[in-house]
Structure 1
Amino acid sequence: MAPSQQLVKDYQSLIRAFESRPCNLKKCGELLTRLKVGLVTAGLLPVLPKSESSVEDLVVVRNILEIGAFWSIRSKDIPSFDRYFAQLQTLYNDYSTVLPPSPREHPLVGLNLIRLLTQNRIADFHTTLEAIRLSPEAAAENPYIAHPVAVERWLMEGSYSKVWSAREEAPAEEYRFFVDSLIGTIRNEIASCEEVAYDSLPLKDAATLLFFTNRNELLAFAQQRGWQINLIEETITFKKKDEEKIVVPTTKLISANLAYARELEQIV
């Protein structure tokens, strides 16, 4: 079924809203909702591996889904991104020999790789990486793929300072959202280690270890962890778990040992 005039009109409006600077997220969300209903009505969604739709129609569907995926990240809606990307997988994989290449494919594939890292889905990360239709050399030269690969390597090495710097080296603005999520996870891991290794730390040293450049953000993080802050001495004291006190039943042990000794004497 051919797209309706209203669907074509909404599609053109979506492109304008998405490409405007700044991007009109609210307008994009409204148009995407209408467009998805229109695509279902026109029989263009869900996209089937053996769909009889024309190449032109499938390109339009792909463009809408790609804009939806980027919109999801900019709106910080990860479940929505997952749904859009799952639909795009069919177009990227099953129609790779039919549709012209999309300039948005590798940026979105790279974003999906970063998303898997934030969820600690390392096995899925490597499976997805192996399925990318690029030679190892081409993948290494592609900034959208090379970036998450480097981040994964640094995470495995424990090179958290390099992960921190990866935010500034992100190939697209949307990547920073996921890198920030990774930094949050890393901060909590470092904080747990600090609580065990130190009784207290100077505020300056704690900020350095936790990658905080803003003092207020460090203080807010410390309060969330239940740390004691001394602004006069400029220190943070870590909340220690009370060690379990082991009560040794001394009298009972002595009595038991004496009884055991008497029994041994009787045997001998």
Structure 2
Amino acid sequence: MAANIKQIHAKVLKSFSTNNPGTTALLAQAKLALIEAGLLVPVGEHHEQELIYARDILEIGAFWSIRVKDVPSFDRYFSQLQTFYSDYDGAIRPSDRKYALTGLNLIRLLTQNRISDFHTILESLPPETLQDNKFIRHPVNLERWLMEGSYSKVWNAREEAPAAEYRIFVDSLMGTIRNEIASCEEAAYNSLPMKDAETLLFFHNQQDLMAFTQKRGWQPDLIRHVFTFPSKADDKTAEIPSRKIIAQALTCAKELEQIV
């Protein structure tokens, strides 16, 4: 069985390193082999090299999932890796990919606005990694800039990503940021100059800007070069029945006074 896992590991590694589209199918076969060998979620004692092969295959699967933009698949691979990172920590040599994948997972949590989960993972890491490890420092900085509203720094961080896979999540994060900025503009103004919209939303060409604004229903005025936001004329402001609420409060107060 060890020889079989070794051969599968070699095939997956070669396919991944050449960015072969067939890597997806190879990974599916590799996971079946790991299940048969009891190595997908190992329990008890196993040969160290077999555990390393299994861990490598799952790590490659996690990276590949990001390359093909399959986030649910990344979640599954990262979850399966926790057995190797925790239960077998010390039993096998440390992984060179562990912090790179942990950093990716942290950015994934940011894109899903799962801030409490983000900080829970940070608290489980050695304190020195928050600044000394480039893979962890990157999402830590992103989270701080998001809290500060320094969106331009988040955008610039795309070019400073410690691995190519990080850019995919940062792009997703920018999509969330753009929608947040757009919602603020819609609430504050009735229209916005096109040039200002391009700058505020971090677009570098009109085509991408037009595609984004069209989805939000912004109306382009090519003569005045402005976007007009969807009319809120039909929005009905909920009337607060203040007199009724006050009367009910006074009645409750009188009843309580009688009880006392």
TM-score normalised per structure 2:
0.87
Asked if residue 46 in structure 1 is aligned to residue 58 in structure 2, the reply is: no
Cα distance in 1 between the residues matched to 2:49 and 2:237: 73
User: Equivalences for 1:210-221 in 2 at 5 Å?
Assistant: 210-221=201-212
Asked if residue 14 in structure 1 is aligned to residue 12 in structure 2, the reply is: yes
Contact 1:109 1:145 in 2 (8 A): yes
Q: Secondary structure at the match of 2:207?
A: helix
Contact 1:3 1:39 in 2 (8 A): no
Asked if residue 186 in structure 1 is aligned to residue 172 in structure 2, the reply is: no
- State the Cα deviation string for residues 141-175 of structure 1 (Å, max 9, x = none): 11100000000111111111111111111111111
- List structure 1 segments (4+ residues) > 4 angstroms apart after TM superposition: none
- Name the structure 2 match of 1:162: 153
Asked if residue 111 in structure 1 is aligned to residue 104 in structure 2, the reply is: yes
Asked if residue 225 in structure 1 is aligned to residue 216 in structure 2, the reply is: yes
- Does the C-alpha gap of structure 1 residues 137 and 9 become closer, same or farther in structure 2, counting only changes over 3 Å? closer
- Does the C-alpha gap of structure 1 residues 246 and 110 become closer, same or farther in structure 2, counting only changes over 3 Å? closer
Q: Secondary structure at the match of 2:95?
A: coil
- Does the C-alpha gap of structure 1 residues 95 and 195 become closer, same or farther in structure 2, counting only changes over 3 Å? same
Q: Secondary structure at the match of 1:167?
A: helix
Cα distance in 2 between the residues matched to 1:202 and 1:223: 15
Match of 1:130 among 123, 128, 131: 123
Asked if residue 209 in structure 1 is aligned to residue 208 in structure 2, the reply is: no
Contact 1:139 1:146 in 2 (8 A): yes
Asked if residue 33 in structure 1 is aligned to residue 28 in structure 2, the reply is: yes
- Does the C-alpha gap of structure 1 residues 245 and 86 become closer, same or farther in structure 2, counting only changes over 3 Å? closer
- Does the C-alpha gap of structure 1 residues 246 and 17 become closer, same or farther in structure 2, counting only changes over 3 Å? closer
Could you tell me how far 1:244 is from its partner in structure 2?
Answer: 3.5
Q: Secondary structure at the match of 1:232?
A: coil
Cα distance in 1 between the residues matched to 2:110 and 2:47: 36
Aligned amino acid, residue 84 of structure 2: L
Could you tell me how far 1:4 is from its partner in structure 2?
Answer: 5.2
- Does the C-alpha gap of structure 1 residues 246 and 121 become closer, same or farther in structure 2, counting only changes over 3 Å? closer
Could you tell me how far 1:202 is from its partner in structure 2?
Answer: 1.4
Cα distance in 2 between the residues matched to 1:3 and 1:31: 18
Contact 1:59 1:99 in 2 (8 A): yes
What RMSD, in angstroms, separates the aligned Cα atoms of the two structures?
Answer: 1.6
Asked if residue 85 in structure 1 is aligned to residue 84 in structure 2, the reply is: no
Cα distance in 2 between the residues matched to 1:37 and 1:207: 48
Identity of aligned pairs, percent? Answer: 58
- 5+ unaligned residues in a row in structure 2: which ranges? 240-260
- Name the structure 2 match of 1:59: 52
Contact 1:66 1:104 in 2 (8 A): yes
- State the Cα deviation string for residues 165-206 of structure 1 (Å, max 9, x = none): 111111111111111111111111110111121221211100
How many positions carry a matched residue from both structures?
Answer: 238
Contact 1:47 1:87 in 2 (8 A): no
Cα distance in 1 between the residues matched to 2:73 and 2:237: 50
Asked if residue 71 in structure 1 is aligned to residue 69 in structure 2, the reply is: no
- 5+ unaligned residues in a row in structure 1: which ranges? 248-268
Aligned amino acid, residue 8 of structure 2: D
Q: Which has the larger radius of gyration?
A: 1
User: Equivalences for 1:88-103 in 2 at 5 Å?
Assistant: 88-103=81-96
Cα distance in 1 between the residues matched to 2:62 and 2:56: 10
Q: Secondary structure at the match of 1:236?
A: strand
Could you tell me how far 1:10 is from its partner in structure 2?
Answer: 2.4
Q: Secondary structure at the match of 1:201?
A: strand
Could you tell me how far 1:139 is from its partner in structure 2?
Answer: 2.8
Contact 1:195 1:240 in 2 (8 A): no
Q: Secondary structure at the match of 1:46?
A: coil
- Does the C-alpha gap of structure 1 residues 245 and 195 become closer, same or farther in structure 2, counting only changes over 3 Å? closer
Could you tell me how far 1:67 is from its partner in structure 2?
Answer: 0.2
